[in-house]
Amino acid sequence: MAHHSRLDKIVIDFDPAHHDAAVEFWGGVIGQPFQQVTRYPEYHWAKLAHNQIGMLTQRLGEGGSRVHLDIHTDDAEAEMLRLEALGAKRVEQVEGWWIMRDPAGLPFCVIPDPSVNETNGHRWE
């Protein structure tokens, strides 16, 4: 089924002990502070200058620090089927998005986003 998707953001997941210092550090790296996301206080968001991609930090409840990518799509089921054909595996649905793992076991998320379209995403047949 034809649909659109795009790499939307880089997410850095921090263990709770390092979260606050890491958010401050990465804000310094990109030259702007991260803003706390109102609905999800464990997240802090920044739009990277001159790019369509954003950067998000997440305070983990458990586990070690890591980086993962968020893919936004206008059709989550079609995108997950496409990614599974490439070797990805579904792990868990959280609220409205899916956590998946690539063939090496690295996590990434697929997030439904009706604003992804022909002008800002890649069209898949």
- pLDDT at residue 118 in the model: 94
CA of 87: how far to CAs of 69, 80, 81, in Å?
Answer: 16, 10, 10
Q: Which domains does the chain have, with CATH numbers?
A: 3-120 (3.10.180.10)
- pLDDT, tens digit (0-9, with 9 covering 90-100), for 7-50: 999 999 999 999 999 999 999 998 888 999 988 889 998 877 66
69 and 59 Cβ atoms separated by less than 8 Å = no
pLDDT at 52 over 90: no
- pLDDT at residue 50 in the model: 66
- pLDDT, tens digit (0-9, with 9 covering 90-100), for 59-105: 998 888 999 999 999 999 999 999 999 999 999 999 999 999 999 99
- pLDDT at residue 92 in the model: 97
Report the C-alpha gap between 88 and 71 in whole angstroms.
13
4 and 122 Cβ atoms separated by less than 8 Å = yes
The token pair at 86 is: 């490439």
- pLDDT at residue 53 in the model: 84
Element of type H or E holding 93: strand 89-94
- pLDDT at residue 46 in the model: 85
